[in-house]
Amino acid sequence: MLWFFYGGNDLLDLVRGSDHFIVKKYLNDGFRQGRMDRDYVIAKATLAFADGRFAAASNGHAAIDWQDIFRRLLSFYDIRLVLGAQPKSLASAEDSNYSLFRSVLVKAVDAVDAWGGKLVLDHLPSIGDLTQQNETSEKVFAIVQELEIPQINPLDQFRAHPDPQVLTDAGHYSVPGHQLIGDTVAAALQQDP
């Protein structure tokens, strides 16, 4: 089982959501969020958001900002608000968040071991990691190594690339960046399937 862990926001997303009552429930055996039972509420929230945006635009109160509409719909921002999963403001990760991350990894290892699989963490470097490794990545590596979870880390390949600028585009991996990750993962899995 491959876990693609992006150093740029995966731990920060855990930090943002760590106070939400549902996040820690996932550590309980057998917990299910029951999202399918809430389809009506989610659909209603989505329609209310769209109706509100279009009504404001048709009344001349605001121009339709299609980019904002698609961003909010695709990120489920308004749906998260309705479901009570409002993100916290961005803060640096604290020791308790690393502890929660460790607990999540332990649960993941146990779940994969239960069906005879093996968990492998593919640590996708953040854009900041490409120039220097940050404290968050170092702590994540330490936790993964402590738990003896095999890792794939394409950071050296990114840094060794003759033109590292082509590997990213506006804060995201570019097509060549994704190709480098794919090649690195394929090579690692061929060595140790």
Yes or no: domain 2-19+90-191 corresponds to CATH 3.40.30.10: no
Long-range contacts of 115-120 (CB under 8 A, 24+ apart): 117/1, 118/1, 118/150, 119/1, 119/3, 119/149, 119/150, 120/1, 120/2, 120/3, 120/149, 120/150, 120/151, 120/152, 120/188, 120/189
Distance from C-alpha of 90 to C-alpha of 17, rounded to nearest angstrom = 10
Cβ pair 44, 78 in contact under 8 A: no
pLDDT in tens, 106-115: 988 998 999 8
Confidence of residue 56 (pLDDT cuts 50, 70, 90): low
Confidence of residue 90 (pLDDT cuts 50, 70, 90): very low
pLDDT in tens, 158-168: 888 898 888 88
- Residues 155-186 as b/e (b if ≥16 CB within 10 A, e otherwise) read beebeebeeeeebeeeeebeeebeebbeebbe
Taking the domains of the chain in order of start, what are their residue ranges?
2-19+90-191, 35-82
pLDDT in tens, 34-53: 666 767 777 777 777 777 76
Is-above-0.75 flag for pTM? no
